[in-house]
């Protein structure tokens, strides 16, 4: 079947099971930090280890065939009278390994989104001796927090007990369980090294992060596995490391279980999640700023750097230079605390924000919006159709330019467009030089200001080449450039 013009399509996460809430055990009893040190955690591990599973995901990657220069010559085709072998579509299977945690006896499993993202097939192997495998379905996934929920068709499973990550303190003993490097279930021990860490999104897109940092060894294959406390309760989902060698160097991160549970509950109930949106650029309050802006207590507050036009903050009258000190009754200590407070709120709800302006305290009512680029069941936009794999912008993923992304990537306010969050290395766009964190400003000379407009413009692209105007920051230099992406269709055999 012949390919059509390059297409941008929205990714939708469809709920496989939207049953009533599963029976999840939660224990919020504080740790006894005055207890005498123990000489073994064997009993704790025996209790928690059966709940940790291995996850095997498989993705079918479609590759463009390599052709010799003369293969398209009609004379050679007529002379030989048959198709060249390279006419056949090439595919390869890409497999990855991760971990997950059983949170209900009827088969709900919590894991990291990047463990299963883009997978065509997911299998779950229980950690017990029989190594029985189950086919898993994706109930829902949230790239913004890197959390996903799977479901397997089984009952009577050993579900873990969830703890309360808000009660963690630096120095608490933690254990990480998972399947590092595919060697089999392993346990490592460490302490909570820090709380409330934000390390930046691996893709450069918007991310909600409030990580638990630990020196318990986390290695490839541990992602999605359990971080438990000394009582064997789940207090985090292992997700990433900081390393110069791609192996453990003692700086690992886990999503706190309270945040993961908040996302999980929404995914199970609705199959998708949308995030609330305020619409400001902000920075933490320093002593100098506190004095300049007349803030009596420098321990609290976030300085508003800029307000996105048309955003909920703009409509409520929040201005650059305001100091936000309270969000819906909760003191705002820093920018991360404000982001978490917004993320824990539901879109389209009204909240009270207390701020200081010109030394005077006032309260404004804000109706939160939906994070740009998200709709119900949708997280981002993908250029091209991976299943068809004949459109030349296949494998390019775009998202809206959020205030957080602008701040992280130092993108000027006057740059409008769609942020590139992924480029398949086998795509024509990659051949043309498109890179992650590029901002697509125009397609075939049609300006675009967000992901949705990019979707619409590319839907109507019919030329042999797609002309992209992009903004890029590279090695300290920033500016616009043009890329021409080959849009010659391939015949699918």
pLDDT level of residue 293 (50, 70, 90 thresholds) = confident
Measured CA to CA, the distance from residue 69 to residue 62 in angstroms comes to: 22
pTM strictly above 0.85: no
pLDDT level of residue 336 (50, 70, 90 thresholds) = confident
Q: Which fold has domain 276-370?
A: Pdz3 Domain (2.30.42)
| Domain limits, CATH 2.30.42.10, in the chain | 276-370, 378-486
Q: Across all residues in the chain, what is the average pLDDT?
A: 78
pLDDT level of residue 25 (50, 70, 90 thresholds) = confident
| Domain limits, CATH 2.40.10.120, in the chain | 24-270
Q: Which tokens sit at 302?
A: 């976030």
The alpha helices in 95-147, defined as continuous H runs, are: 113-116
Q: Which fold has domain 378-486?
A: Pdz3 Domain (2.30.42)
Q: Which fold has domain 24-270?
A: Thrombin, subunit H (2.40.10)
Per-residue pLDDT reduced to its tens digit, 252-274: 899 999 999 989 998 998 888 88
Nearest to 342 by CA among 278, 402, 283: 278
Q: CA end-to-end span of the chain, whole Å?
A: 7
Measured CA to CA, the distance from residue 10 to residue 245 in angstroms comes to: 35
Measured CA to CA, the distance from residue 54 to residue 9 in angstroms comes to: 32
145 or 5, higher pLDDT? 145
Per-residue pLDDT reduced to its tens digit, 359-414: 888 999 999 988 766 654 444 444 432 222 234 466 788 888 888 788 778 888 88
Which residues form the catalytic set? 114, 146, 223
Q: For residues 127 and 52, is the Cβ–Cβ distance under 8 A?
A: yes
């Amino acid at each position: 079947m012949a390919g059509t013009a390059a297409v941008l399509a929205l990714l939708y996460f469809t709920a496989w099971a939207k049953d009533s809430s599963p029976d999840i055990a939660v224990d919020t009893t504080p740790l006894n930090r005055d207890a005498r040190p123990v000489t073994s955690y064997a009993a704790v591990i025996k209790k928690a280890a059966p709940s940790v599973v291995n996850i095997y995901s498989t993705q079918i990657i479609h590759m463009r065939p390599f052709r010799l220069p003369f293969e398209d010559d009609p004379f050679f085709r007529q002379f030989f009278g048959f198709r060249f072998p390279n006419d056949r579509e090439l595919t390869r299977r890409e497999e990855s390994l991760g971990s997950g945690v059983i949170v209900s006896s009827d088969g709900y499993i919590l894991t990291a989104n990047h463990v299963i993202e883009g997978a065509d097939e997911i299998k779950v192997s229980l950690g017990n001796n029989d190594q029985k495998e189950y086919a898993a379905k994706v109930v829902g996934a949230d790239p913004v927090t890197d959390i996903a929920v799977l479901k397997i068709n089984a009952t009577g499973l050993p579900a873990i007990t969830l703890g309360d990550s808000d009660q963690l303190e630096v120095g608490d003993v933690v254990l990480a369980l998972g399947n590092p490097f595919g060697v089999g279930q392993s346990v490592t021990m460490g302490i909570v090294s820090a709380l409330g860490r934000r390390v930046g999104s691996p893709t450069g897109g918007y991310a909600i992060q409030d990580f638990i940092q630990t020196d318990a060894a986390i290695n490839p294959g541990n992602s999605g596995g359990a971080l438990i406390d000394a009582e064997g309760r789940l207090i985090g989902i292992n997700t990433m490391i900081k390393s110069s060698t791609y192996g453990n160097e003692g700086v690992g991160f886990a999503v706190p279980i309270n945040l993961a549970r908040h996302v999980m509950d929404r995914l199970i109930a609705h199959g998708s999640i949308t995030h609330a949106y305020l619409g400001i650029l902000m920075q933490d309050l320093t002593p100098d700023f506190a004095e300049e802006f007349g803030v009596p207590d420098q321990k609290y507050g976030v300085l508003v750097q800029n307000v996105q036009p048309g955003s909920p903050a703009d409509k409520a009258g929040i201005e650059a230079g305001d100091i936000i000190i309270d969000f819906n009754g909760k003191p705002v200590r820093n920018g991360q605390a404000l982001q978490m407070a917004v993320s824990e709120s539901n879109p389209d709800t009204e909240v009270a924000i207390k701020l200081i302006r010109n030394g005077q305290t006032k309260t404004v009512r804000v109706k939160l919006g939906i994070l740009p680029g998200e709709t119900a069941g949708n997280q981002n936009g993908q250029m091209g159709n991976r299943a068809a794999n004949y459109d030349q912008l296949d494998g390019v993923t775009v998202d809206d330019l959020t205030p957080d992304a602008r701040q992280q990537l130092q993108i000027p306010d006057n740059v409008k467009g769609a942020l590139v969050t992924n480029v398949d290395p086998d795509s024509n766009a990659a051949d043309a030089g498109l890179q992650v964190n590029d901002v697509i400003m125009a397609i075939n000379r049609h300006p675009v200001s967000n992901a949705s407009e990019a979707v619409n413009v590319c839907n109507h692209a019919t030329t042999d080449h797609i002309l992209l105007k992009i903004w890029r920051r590279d090695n300290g230099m920033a500016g616009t450039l043009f890329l021409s992406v080959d849009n010659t269709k391939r015949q699918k055999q």
